[in-house]
Structure 1
Amino acid sequence: MSKVTFFRGQQLPLEMHKVRIIQKLTLLPVEQRLEAIRAAGHNTFLLQNADVFLDMLTDSGVNAMSQEQQAAMFRADDAYAGSATYTRLYDKLVEVFGMEYFLPAHQGRAAENILGQVLVRPDTAVAMNYHFTTSKQHVVVHGAEVLELIHPDGLKVTSDHPFKGNMDTDALRAVIAERGAEGLSFVRMEAGTNLIGGQPFSLDNLTEVSQICHEHDIPLVLDASLLADNLYFMKIRDPRCVDLEIPAIVKAMADLCDIIYFSARKLGFGRGGGICIRDEAMYKRMRGFVPMFEGFLTYGGMSVREMEAITVGLDETLDFDMINQGPQFIAYMVNELDRRGVPVITPPGGLGAHVDAMRFLDHVDQRQYPAAALASAVFLASGVRGMERGTMSEARDINTGVEPLAHMELVRLALPRRVFTLSQVNYAIDRIDWLYQNRHLVGGMRWVEEPEILRFFYGRLEPIGDWTTRLVEQFRADFGDSL
């Protein structure tokens, strides 16, 4: 493991890389942070990056590139068709996943659009270990429903289960028995369940899901966007994988699936995406949607420079020293917050540290969006931009107006790969600790502007009462002239 033990025996993560390019950051005074979050409608997606100190909104498209990736971008072949860049990316994907057919797309949700167009049938369902916002939307708009069949431990906020992202295979069998195989358009497994703390699934679980799907001739689709984190946890937690090299684990996973799609904004440390397909007939069913929605078949809406970077990034995803830094930093942050009493999702997962807003703000009604309120409060206390992953991220039924309450109310503090230093992580921990000590000051939120589709991206809220002002006043009283 790439860790070093020092300082009275405490284990601290050790980066297996050095920083060679930097970006200057700005830490605004707390009063200016209040102005900024008000202007953003208390939606951290709408903050200007110039007003953000540490951007922990997401790991999507903001991971640091290596020198090898930067160098590869200079050899990009920008031919509209027949590009050598495409051939290099295609060859790498065949090497990694072993699937003969590939369709490029500009990012993961573009791949989901194509999957929805081809695979989703009205009045059926798509079974998932857990949904992601865009994956669910692409199912719903085609007249189907999403069935979340997460392992029972998956929705336990605190647990020592190593694979909380596992699908409940008994529930999958029961759904097939009730609805018939024709009642499922496909089964989707997400490597690293984003919305419940980046929790992984095991190879045994994927194997069992695959056996059930193939027994009933149901396509098994793997969302590999967060594959790197899932691979890390398989390598250190899964008895079947501890003695395997990372490429062998990937191949074992891929052999169980019919289709693998991904956002290269996460997988491969670049920007883009695509769909790997095992069956030629399925490939031909999907192929026409690429020039319709994305671009020609050999670039699919991606920059060829990014395609070269992804090709190298896929190699780096197979390097344990490259993929372990993110989960180790996350584990450090989660464990430190937990040690200070701050409620977090355990065990530490991938993507980021996830703070449990339901326990953090147990005095705020869930219908007042505690995760959204906490995300605003974290920004006020620290200049750190996190993301609401709770009821605000759900979708109100456009026919009935009913708003489903999320299973969890989380604030995700993403740690993009190879970006932050340990001192920056410690700063975030310290400010969140202060906020927890003053949590009684934080109140709820209500809508000012509520879009019908994917409202969490661009909707606007306002605080109920003047709690943001009181929080700023307490910050200034405790920290004085400190930012």
Structure 2
Amino acid sequence: MAHIKFYSGEEVPLEMHKVRIVQKLSLPHIERRLEALNEAGNNTFLLKNTDIYLDMLTDSGVNAMSDKQLAAMMESDDSYAGSSTFTKLENKIRDIFGTDYFLPVHQGRAAENVLAKVFVRPGQVVPMNYHFTTTKAHICVNGGSVDEIIIDEGLEVTSSNPFKGNMDIAKLEAIIQKRGAENIAFVRVETGTNLIGGQPHSLENLRQVSNVCNKYGVLLVLDASLLADNLYFIKTREDACKQMSVREITRAIADLCDIIYFSARKLGCARGGGICTRSRDLFMKMRELVTLYEGFLTYGGMSVREIEAITVGLEETMDDDMISQGPQFIAYMVNELDRKGVPVITPPGGLGVHLDAKRFIPHVPQTEYSAGALASALFLVSGVRGMERGSVSEQRDDDGNEVYSNMELLRLAVPRRVFTMSQLKYAIDRIVWLYENRALIGGLKFVEEPKMLRFFFGKLAPTSDWQHKLVAKFRSDLGDSL
């Protein structure tokens, strides 16, 4: 885990890789970026890649693969059934997680679909540390509901708590006692809670959750998509785990859970996913739906080339240097922005840097989607594409009333082994300029609003001409600096 103090006194993380293949980027001028925003309805999901300089929308499916992964892809066995490529992945899953049964799926939300259809019944509840958008949607579509019981500090934007993703154990037990174990579909723990800043849970907290689930006979399901980051934080922040290897921590986590599912677009740096369990009974309950919705049991909707890459990527995740790269570069950005007074989520988490829109632009109310407005403003002045993680990412209730998010965040994902330090410094520079000119940022309103997952498809428009004023100020201060 390389973190070097330079002779100048500056501390920076070191890239523990060298670049051997490059992809050309473009940086359109600010007037073109304004046109692109209008075309995309101020939804960064709808921007075209040709209009983007740094794509920090997500780390899902865009992490750089290693040379060993690329080499492994050439060895793939493309048999429809009984592929030796799948056997490699199955054996690697068994080696790392200690689970006997593995079901492949094409990505994480496919696993959520299978889990929800098999285990969620109308009226049941799924307690969890915090929801993820597609997870909640699958549960609700199948008649269930979500109860978020993260610790109180999890929703504090600034904190020194190293494990803000921990579940409140007392609340968990109270929910089970109140609702009855038969009305709990399963308990879900998300590693690296996505929507509240990529904040980790501790191994000890997961052990306590597991004890409660065992006490009442409730299934414990782990979303391990962001496991790599969470492993780093457990190893570096949890005293009892500092002498454990990454592999030992991983097995300790897996041993506590009944089902583990993951998106390999995050965990493993390839496109795919899977569901793991030690229970043949649970495996048999899910098996048919994988074949129905995904593909046969030895490919699950994935290319065998991707399966080869996942196998290698999972093994590489057991390396200290690999799991440190994301969190260390994220921490560098968070600390630099914090030092310059820009409101960010602390302590630094995984997945990306999270700007706190409520403090960044307090004059823009949640009714005008402040995190979405901040995402538009940042793209406008920098060509950096982030993702709104606030009220746009929620959806209206059954009566059509707006549901406002606990936090209004702009997430700037830092894909692994993709960006250089100078690119991160460019992003920091433009964020600082935007913060100094934050009074110019205005709100957004929906002009096209889907009923579900509106953050993927919806279109919004500025509530005033604030974007043109921002362009004029940018040109005044930075001239032709794009």
1:53 partner amino acid: Y
CA positional deviation for 1:116: 0.5
CA positional deviation for 1:8: 2.6
What secondary structure sits across from 2:354 in the alignment?
A: strand
User: What does 1:198-237 align with in structure 2 at a 5 Å threshold?
Assistant: 198-237=198-237
Give structure 2 stretches of 5+ with no counterpart. none
User: What does 1:1-400 align with in structure 2 at a 5 Å threshold?
Assistant: 1-397=1-397, 399-400=398-399
In structure 1, what is the Cα distance between the partners aligned to 2:410 and 2:450?
21
In structure 2, what is the Cα distance between the partners aligned to 1:227 and 1:238?
15
Partner deviation per Cα, 1:424-469 (whole Å, 9 max, x = no partner): 0000000000000000000000001000110000100000000000
Question: Is the 8 Å Cα contact of residues 64 and 418 (structure 1) preserved in structure 2?
Answer: yes
1:84 partner amino acid: S
1:360 partner amino acid: F
1:86 partner amino acid: F
Give structure 1 stretches of 5+ with no counterpart. none
What secondary structure sits across from 1:257 in the alignment?
A: coil
In structure 1, what is the Cα distance between the partners aligned to 2:334 and 2:173?
35
**Aligned equivalent of 1:460:** 459
What secondary structure sits across from 2:74 in the alignment?
A: helix
CA positional deviation for 1:312: 0.2
In structure 2, what is the Cα distance between the partners aligned to 1:357 and 1:480?
27
CA positional deviation for 1:7: 4.8
**Aligned equivalent of 1:441:** 440
Partner deviation per Cα, 1:145-186 (whole Å, 9 max, x = no partner): 100000110000000000000000010011112111112110
What secondary structure sits across from 2:131 in the alignment?
A: coil
In structure 2, what is the Cα distance between the partners aligned to 1:76 and 1:413?
34
In structure 2, what is the Cα distance between the partners aligned to 1:54 and 1:213?
43
In structure 2, what is the Cα distance between the partners aligned to 1:458 and 1:340?
34
In structure 2, what is the Cα distance between the partners aligned to 1:138 and 1:410?
23
In structure 2, what is the Cα distance between the partners aligned to 1:354 and 1:244?
29
Aligned-residue CA RMSD (Å) = 0.6
Partner deviation per Cα, 1:177-207 (whole Å, 9 max, x = no partner): 2111112110000000000000000000000
In structure 1, what is the Cα distance between the partners aligned to 2:462 and 2:35?
13
Partner deviation per Cα, 1:188-234 (whole Å, 9 max, x = no partner): 00000000000000000000000000110100000000000000000
In structure 1, what is the Cα distance between the partners aligned to 2:274 and 2:210?
21
**Aligned equivalent of 1:476:** 475
Partner deviation per Cα, 1:269-310 (whole Å, 9 max, x = no partner): 000001001210111010000111000010000000000000
In structure 2, what is the Cα distance between the partners aligned to 1:373 and 1:431?
16
Question: Is the 8 Å Cα contact of residues 107 and 271 (structure 1) preserved in structure 2?
Answer: yes
In structure 2, what is the Cα distance between the partners aligned to 1:327 and 1:434?
24
Question: Is the 8 Å Cα contact of residues 327 and 350 (structure 1) preserved in structure 2?
Answer: yes
In structure 2, what is the Cα distance between the partners aligned to 1:462 and 1:190?
33
What secondary structure sits across from 1:443 in the alignment?
A: coil
In structure 2, what is the Cα distance between the partners aligned to 1:320 and 1:377?
36
In structure 2, what is the Cα distance between the partners aligned to 1:207 and 1:137?
27
In structure 1, what is the Cα distance between the partners aligned to 2:399 and 2:113?
25
2:374 partner amino acid: L
In structure 1, what is the Cα distance between the partners aligned to 2:401 and 2:149?
22
**Aligned equivalent of 1:421:** 420
What secondary structure sits across from 2:460 in the alignment?
A: strand
Question: Is the 8 Å Cα contact of residues 203 and 240 (structure 1) preserved in structure 2?
Answer: no
Partner deviation per Cα, 1:44-78 (whole Å, 9 max, x = no partner): 00000010000000000000000000000000000
Partner deviation per Cα, 1:312-352 (whole Å, 9 max, x = no partner): 00011100111101100000000000011100000000000
Partner deviation per Cα, 1:384-427 (whole Å, 9 max, x = no partner): 00000000000112x30011110000000000001000100000
In structure 1, what is the Cα distance between the partners aligned to 2:441 and 2:458?
20
What secondary structure sits across from 1:324 in the alignment?
A: helix
1:388 partner amino acid: E
What secondary structure sits across from 1:166 in the alignment?
A: coil
1:475 partner amino acid: F
What secondary structure sits across from 1:12 in the alignment?
A: strand
CA positional deviation for 1:124: 1.0
Aligned CA distance change for structure 1 residues 386 and 290 (closer, same or farther; 3 Å): same
Q: Matched residues, percent identical? A: 64
What secondary structure sits across from 1:411 in the alignment?
A: strand
Q: How many matched pairs?
A: 482
1-10 vs 216-225, which moves further? 1-10
TM-score, with structure 2 as normaliser: 0.99
